[in-house]
C-alpha cells in the first residue's frame, strides 16, 4: 500500500510472464493507494468473481509475494530478516503448466531473500523436486534447507526427510501402504493409495487401461 505503483508493475509483469493477458492490476482511483483487478477492455464488472479457481490462486499468490516483501505502513521500515513466511500448497488448484513458474517465483522472491525463516508445505512431489533443483541439482539437501515429511493420523507427526527418499508419487503411495501396516489410523488412506498404485502399474508399465 505504501508504493502501489511498484506492486502494480510487479504483478502485471509476472502475469504477462505467466502468459496471462485476460486481466491485470490497475489503480482503484488516482487519489487512493489501492488497486483492483481489471479486464483489458476496461469493463466495470466485479472481475475477481469471474476468474477461475486457478486464476484466483495465481493473482492471490502474486499479491501475497508483494505483501511479504512490502509494508502497509509508511512509517514502518521493511525488515525482511524479522519476517517468517509460510506458504501452504500454492499450486493446489493450478495446472501443471504453472508448476515450474511458481517454483521459480518462490525460489527468486522468497528463498533467495533475507527472510528470517520460510516454511513451505506441499502435496505435489514434482513441485517439491523443482524447488530443490532450482537451488541445487545434486542429490544432496541444499544448504540452509531442511526437509520434513508430515504424517497425519490421530496426531500430526513430523519426520526428517532425505533428499532422495521420495522420488515420485508412485513411491509416495507405497509409503502410505507401509505406514498403514504399522498405524491403523492410516486405514482410510489405504484404498486411494492402492487405486493409484494399480493405475500407475497398468498405465505406465503395461501402457493399457485396467
Residue 147 or 75, more confident: 147
> Which of 144, 74, 61 is CA-nearest to residue 131?
144
pLDDT at 167: 67
Q: Express as a percent the part of the chain with pLDDT over 70.
A: 91
| 210 pLDDT above the threshold of 70 | no
Q: How many residues does the chain have?
A: 210
Mean of pLDDT values over 12-31 = 87
pLDDT category, 106, cuts 50, 70, 90? Answer: very high
Is residue 120 pLDDT above 60, yes or no?
Answer: yes
pLDDT above 80 for 78: no
Q: State how far the Cα of 165 lies from the Cα of 128, in Å rounded to an integer.
A: 12
**Where are the domains positioned within the chain?**
1-73, 80-135, 166-210
Residues 199, 183 contacting (CB under 8 angstroms): no
Find the mean pLDDT for residues 27-53: 81
Whole-model pTM over 0.85? no
With cut-offs at 50, 70 and 90, classify the pLDDT of residue 86: very high
Amino acid at each position: 500500500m505504501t508504493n502501489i505503483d511498484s506492486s502494480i508493475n510487479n504483478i502485471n509483469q509476472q502475469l504477462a510472464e505467466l502468459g496471462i493477458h485476460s486481466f491485470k492490476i490497475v489503480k482503484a482511483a488516482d487519489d487512493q493507494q489501492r488497486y483492483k483487478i481489471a479486464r483489458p477492455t476496461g469493463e466495470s464488472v466485479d472481475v475477481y468473481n469471474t476468474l477461475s479457481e486457478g486464476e484466483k490462486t495465481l493473482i492471490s499468490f502474486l499479491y501475497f509475494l508483494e505483501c511479504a516483501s512490502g509494508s502497509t505502513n509508511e512509517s514502518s521500515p521493511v525488515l525482511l530478516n524479522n519476517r517468517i513466511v509460510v506458504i501452504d500448497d500454492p499450486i493446489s488448484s493450478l495446472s501443471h503448466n504453472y508448476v515450474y513458474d511458481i517454483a521459480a517465483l518462490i525460489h527468486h522472491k522468497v528463498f533467495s531473500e533475507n527472510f528470517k525463516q520460510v516454511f513451505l508445505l506441499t502435496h505435489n512431489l514434482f513441485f517439491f523436486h523443482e524447488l530443490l533443483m532450482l537451488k541445487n541439482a545434486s542429490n544432496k539437501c541444499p544448504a540452509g534447507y531442511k526437509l520434513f515429511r508430515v504424517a497425519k493420523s490421530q496426531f500430526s507427526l513430523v519426520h526428517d526427510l532425505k533428499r532422495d527418499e521420495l522420488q515420485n508419487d508412485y513411491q509416495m503411495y507405497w509409503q502410505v501402504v507401509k505406514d498403514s501396516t504399522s498405524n491403523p489410523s492410516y486405514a482410510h488412506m489405504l484404498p486411494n493409495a492402492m487405486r493409484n498404485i494399480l493405475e500407475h502399474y497398468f498405465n505406465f508399465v503395461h501402457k493399457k487401461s485396467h
